[in-house]
Structure 1
């Protein structure tokens, strides 16, 4: 039996919805990249998540009455990680291409098992290590070398640091899973992410930008998209395994690259190869090796 014949290429409605979300999310990188011409990064992120928090609060207003102190603490911690992740990612997009940002951001997937090993003493498996090596190799090809030496630009460093915050967000969400109400925590974490982002405007030397229709509609549009996508993901992933969902999400930087290329972005050949290695590292890091049980013959069993 061939390898391809072992798999059925059929998708559930939930998986198709996740694919659509991934395509839309990949396209948002270009929108954020253009928004940086009319706004500072932390104001934009703050406005974006304030919109998302407000919309979700309206949807989940009944369940918010039962908000607990533990849920507030969890939401604030996750919100701080979200603010750091999206804030640094958006800051980086002031100087690097949207497609390059998307590929570097995908590094958060193989970084999760590495951070779990460092802080929770959970040793990554063989495939996780292989994914980490591939992803970091891809990162080196994507980001350099420049001028005959390996050097990361400020935008690339900021984006890479954002992946640590995003990976931390995932670990925090995993630690809180089953202990809190998802709707209430999501509202708190989005509101906290907005407040933290607005607070970071001063250290970054930002001021409230002048009114711009593009800024207003992009921030509000992305905020609404964040709210809808978050709710939809929670619905879809009730029946889609985390591994299969991650494989679908791995297409996000690919779609960002396609949208960026249509818009005129042109990454060098080595950078494209690096992006492909990062996506491959993401996919491999989620694979699990299955050990085959040793078969014993009747003679061995009786001996």
Structure 2
């Protein structure tokens, strides 16, 4: 047996995940604007309350059949979502959006590790190569002027958010196919909203003045968050956590693009990092196929 050919294919589910990373990358600037008008936990709570309401209104006909498994799955995943987004939003008060995008993307190497520890699933060879390329690209995309990643308060908070996001992806995959997508999404979003609002109490955060700018950003990101969670819950039924994670590494690339449009200028090293991330996504989509070197027999067939 020998490896002699590569096949490249993208599932519709994977194409949708790639698309949401484009929009996802643009949210960093929007969130950074929002935290200039509100505390991080109130904004995240308002954002996900809007998202939960949007999905609930579109799911009234199926909510009556909700099961205990869907409630449990939604609550657990919702807590991970709240931690991931709240910590990331909190961290954006102390560091630039480009550095936040890089540190958040640390969940790339964390997902396969958690997948192995929690689910016992080892990633494939091509996925590992894609993750290695993606992670190397992320190190370059960080664009630090002194080539060092100094972990201050904002960096540590954002790094904790990356761990929560990695857990979210693993949990979604663990329950994918066992729950109704719309019902579990409503529970996830509602839980994330409540956890964020309750987090205001121990942190001493107050309700800010409800300006038009804050409400519009919360509404827009809330609707987008609803779309993201529905797509993730649906797509990860057939897309492995490792493959989904490498696709998500496109997020900081798009964040860099939107940052440039907003006036940021990425150095050459960061552009190289972005290229490596895209290459990592493509490599992860390659599938090695085996061929029998001898003449085929009636029972012989090509195996992936």
Shorter-normalised TM range: 0.7 to 0.9
State the alpha-carbon separation in 1 of the partners of residues 286 and 82 from structure 2: 32
Give the 3-state SS of the residue equivalent to 2:292 in structure 1. coil
Q: 1:161 to 1:39 in 2, by over 3 A?
A: same
2:292 aligned to which of 289, 294, 298 = 294
Give the 3-state SS of the residue equivalent to 1:156 in structure 2. helix
Match of 1:112 in 2: 111
Q: Out of 66-75 and 46-55, give the one that drifted further.
A: 66-75
Structure 1 residues not aligned, in runs of 5+? 1-5, 299-303
TM-superposed deviation, 1:245: 7.2
Give the 3-state SS of the residue equivalent to 1:96 in structure 2. coil
Q: Out of 81-90 and 197-206, give the one that drifted further.
A: 197-206
Match of 2:260 in 1: 261
State the alpha-carbon separation in 1 of the partners of residues 148 and 274 from structure 2: 20
TM-superposed deviation, 1:150: 4.7
Q: String of CA shifts for 1:165-187, please: whole Å, max 9, x gaps.
A: 11211111111122222111110
TM-superposed deviation, 1:268: 3.6
Q: Out of 212-221 and 152-161, give the one that drifted further.
A: 152-161
State the alpha-carbon separation in 2 of the partners of residues 240 and 116 from structure 1: 16
Q: 1:132 to 1:25 in 2, by over 3 A?
A: closer
Match of 1:3 in 2: none
Larger strand proportion, structure 1 or 2?
Answer: 2
Q: 1:196 to 1:42 in 2, by over 3 A?
A: same
Match of 1:37 in 2: 36
Give the 3-state SS of the residue equivalent to 1:62 in structure 2. helix
Match of 2:74 in 1: 75
Match of 1:214 in 2: 213
Q: String of CA shifts for 1:65-102, please: whole Å, max 9, x gaps.
A: 12222211110000011111111221222233323333
Give the 3-state SS of the residue equivalent to 2:290 in structure 1. coil
8 A Cα contact 1:111 1:164, kept in partner: yes
8 A Cα contact 1:134 1:280, kept in partner: yes
8 A Cα contact 1:106 1:282, kept in partner: no
State the alpha-carbon separation in 1 of the partners of residues 104 and 132 from structure 2: 16
Q: 1:175 to 1:245 in 2, by over 3 A?
A: closer
Match of 1:60 in 2: 59
Number of aligned residue pairs: 290
State the alpha-carbon separation in 1 of the partners of residues 103 and 162 from structure 2: 8
TM-superposed deviation, 1:50: 0.4
Note the 1:194-273 alignment, pairs <5 A. 194-231=193-230, 237=235, 249-273=248-272
Note the 1:14-163 alignment, pairs <5 A. 21-143=20-142, 150-163=149-162
TM-superposed deviation, 1:153: 3.4
Structure 2 residues not aligned, in runs of 5+? 1-6, 297-304
TM-superposed deviation, 1:195: 0.7
State the alpha-carbon separation in 1 of the partners of residues 126 and 173 from structure 2: 21
8 A Cα contact 1:102 1:252, kept in partner: yes
Note the 1:162-177 alignment, pairs <5 A. 162-177=161-176
TM-score, normalised by the number of residues in structure 2: 0.79
8 A Cα contact 1:46 1:197, kept in partner: yes
Give the 3-state SS of the residue equivalent to 1:66 in structure 2. coil
State the alpha-carbon separation in 1 of the partners of residues 21 and 147 from structure 2: 36
